[in-house]
Structure 1
Amino acid sequence: MAEPDAPLVSVVVSARGNAAAVTDLLGALARQSLPAQLMEVVVVDNDPPGRIRPIANALRQSTWPFELRVLQEPKPGLSAGRNRGICAARGRYVAITDPDITPQPEWLRTLVAAAQEEGVFAVGGRSIVEYPQGEVVVLTKALRECHGAVDWPQGREPAVWPYWVTGCNLMFERQTALEIGLFRTDLGRRGRWMGDCEDLEFIDRARQLGHLTLIEPKAVVCHPIYRPETTLRYFLRQGAGHGVCVARMHLSVRVEPAAIQAGWAAVGDVAAGLVQGWAFLDRSRAVESARDLARITTYHAERWRLRLLGRRPAFCAELPTKGSI
């Protein structure tokens, strides 16, 4: 049962080593059109244990129009930090975002309106990716999708392929989330390991249990991407982490075929892309293909590792079929 004075929305942010960004985010949240008394912000300090707490110290220096709580989560990882915040949240809804995100003033009000009007479990908003420092590699659509969704519906649509939610712009019913289980801690970014898919798995699991998620493109946040995140090294690391995480998703959800793309046809496309990139000096095509090679290799390596450990897919329908590797 909700507390009598509980806020409507709890904004949960897990932060690690970016105190200045958290302060900027809180400034953007203070400008939300949703009345401050209807919200609270829970910042989870996921920095390594130590006497000096830069994040907590930075947040004590200012006052905010909403209630602000700062918690600590010693276990490293984005999912661990978010789960700590969700468990401590008091709102009916939990909105998760990241420290480097700038939400537009109508962000929270729009998410809440969509959830209440449509009666759904979760609502994902639109994330606009910006490149303030330019790009090291000219980004193809596939490379841009490594930074977030590119295609968005014109109006509210179910969060199914080709649309998907992003963890920096997602709101859901807290109690239902507690009942179905929170973010898997073996997915998502953890330290220097570039895992992901924790948000995708969470929403897919909810949908497969009968809970609907909508995309509301009017709930907008801006997400800056900097030059180090547009290099070959970055995309190789991102592809490797993504492949591992998609393989792990099989343990709890039916994975959409479009999210896998690791069969012989995909391998052929990678080989063609590498040849064309080298022959025609098309660096973007070469980087995209190299990233896909890393993704496909780690996907199959992780699936074999899980089989050797006796960890089988949750749904037999997702076992390899003829024509896949």
Structure 2
Amino acid sequence: MSLTGRPKVSVIVPTYRDWSGLERCLIGLAAQHYPQDRHEVLVVNNAPEEAAPASMAWPDNARLIVEAAPGSYAARNRGISEARGEVLAFLDADCVPEPDWLESAMACMEAEGADLLAGHITLIYQRSRLTPAECFEKAFAFRQADNAAAGVSVTANLIVRRKVIEAVGAFDDSLMSGGDFEWTRRATMAGFKLVYCPAAVVRHPARHSLASLVQKARRVSTGSMALHNETRVFQGARRVLANIRADLRELFRRPDMTWRERWWALLVMAYLKLVKVHQRLTMTSRTHEPRKLPR
């Protein structure tokens, strides 16, 4: 890619009370091989009541903006409205991009003639002996190659041309979860080309505790019900139980996991399925509660 042909890129990073994670992310962004004058970094603070620490080191090409409306998709939409680039790159605040992340993404986008790019996400762990939660994450988290094949991607590592957003609109900021899959599916259904780029790598910490996975499962289940307008417990049962057979087949064939890690991943998966069903029971019972008449 020639210097004159390098598109201007806007990297959009929503953050919510995770300044230490954001600082590591910014260090990674400051080390990018992609020319600094050809990309900008937009950090969107989704907790406006909490100012950034005075000790934070900001790259010269970074701007801090604020979005008061709750939710990461509202924050990303604010970043989109402020962005100046021809290409928009979405990154989570707890992700650390490899130095050649943007360089590789732009080369892949040009070579493949892609409109959207799902980059690779490498998990990092606290210790060599994984916790049960980390075993689950190792087995099932961030399967970007499979996502791209299905026409979707997470926003932890997503690069898109501005023309896609201009054509299909911004993220649905009424969603607290699942808005990345909803938006990318909207784009691919409109005919835009999404490809997986294994060379565009960011590192993401695996969830270490079962409690953090349970919190995510509840959020995802609630977001799925809202996205698909589900009002009955088993209306979305297919999504809760989706691909179990394929997941099990892949899990027990993986050469990079020990038997201990496989069994913990299986047990945690089963538990999280129950958590999602319970969350649906809770949400549907609230939906059908009789309203009290005012006195």
CA contact (8 A) 1:19 1:58 kept: no
* Match 1:239 to one of 178, 192, 217: 217
Alignment pair present for 1:94 and 2:88: yes
* Match 1:260 to one of 239, 247, 254: 239
Q: Within 5 Å, give how 1:181-260 maps onto structure 2.
A: 181-188=169-176, 196-227=177-208, 230-231=209-210, 233-250=211-228, 260=239
Alignment pair present for 1:165 and 2:163: no
CA contact (8 A) 1:132 1:226 kept: no
Q: CA RMSD for the aligned pairs?
A: 3.4
Distance 1:258 1:90, change over 3 A: farther
Q: CA deviation at 1:176?
A: 2.2
Alignment pair present for 1:103 and 2:101: no
Instruction: Give the secondary-structure state (helix, strand or coil) at the position aligned to 2:132.
Output: coil
Task: State the distance in 1 between where 2:202 and 2:103 align.
Answer: 13
CA contact (8 A) 1:128 1:222 kept: yes
Q: How many residues are paired up?
A: 260
Task: State the distance in 1 between where 2:41 and 2:34 align.
Answer: 13
User: In the alignment, what sits opposite 2:78?
Assistant: 84
Task: State the distance in 1 between where 2:102 and 2:200 align.
Answer: 7
User: In the alignment, what sits opposite 1:53?
Assistant: 51
Q: Within 5 Å, give how 1:60-139 maps onto structure 2.
A: 62=57, 64-65=59-60, 67-133=61-127, 135-137=130-132, 139=134
Distance 1:33 1:258, change over 3 A: farther
User: Which residue identity does 1:203 align to in structure 2?
Assistant: T
CA contact (8 A) 2:96 2:204 kept: yes
User: In the alignment, what sits opposite 2:23?
Assistant: 23
Q: CA deviation at 1:199?
A: 1.3
Superposed CA offset, 1:27-46 (max 9, x none): 21121111111101111111
Q: CA deviation at 1:148?
A: 2.3
Unmatched 5+ stretches in structure 1: 1-5, 189-195, 252-256, 270-281, 309-325
Task: State the distance in 2 between where 1:116 and 1:259 align.
Answer: 37
Alignment pair present for 1:179 and 2:167: yes
CA contact (8 A) 1:103 1:220 kept: yes
Distance 1:258 1:170, change over 3 A: farther
User: How many percent identity over aligned positions?
Assistant: 25
Task: State the distance in 1 between where 2:11 and 2:221 align.
Answer: 30
Distance 1:283 1:211, change over 3 A: closer
Distance 1:118 1:246, change over 3 A: same
TM-score (normalised: structure 2): 0.75
Q: CA deviation at 1:68?
A: 1.8
CA contact (8 A) 1:86 1:174 kept: no
Task: State the distance in 2 between where 1:82 and 1:113 align.
Answer: 24
Instruction: Give the secondary-structure state (helix, strand or coil) at the position aligned to 1:71.
Output: strand
Task: State the distance in 2 between where 1:31 and 1:13 align.
Answer: 16
User: In the alignment, what sits opposite 1:13?
Assistant: 13
CA contact (8 A) 1:207 1:213 kept: yes
Instruction: Give the secondary-structure state (helix, strand or coil) at the position aligned to 2:220.
Output: helix
Superposed CA offset, 1:55-99 (max 9, x none): 5x444xx4635x221111111211111111111100001101122
Task: State the distance in 2 between where 1:109 and 1:303 align.
Answer: 47
User: In the alignment, what sits opposite 2:276?
Assistant: 295
Distance 1:63 1:165, change over 3 A: closer
CA contact (8 A) 2:48 2:66 kept: no
Instruction: Give the secondary-structure state (helix, strand or coil) at the position aligned to 2:99.
Output: coil
User: In the alignment, what sits opposite 1:38?
Assistant: 38
CA contact (8 A) 1:262 1:296 kept: no
Task: State the distance in 2 between where 1:16 and 1:39 align.
Answer: 23
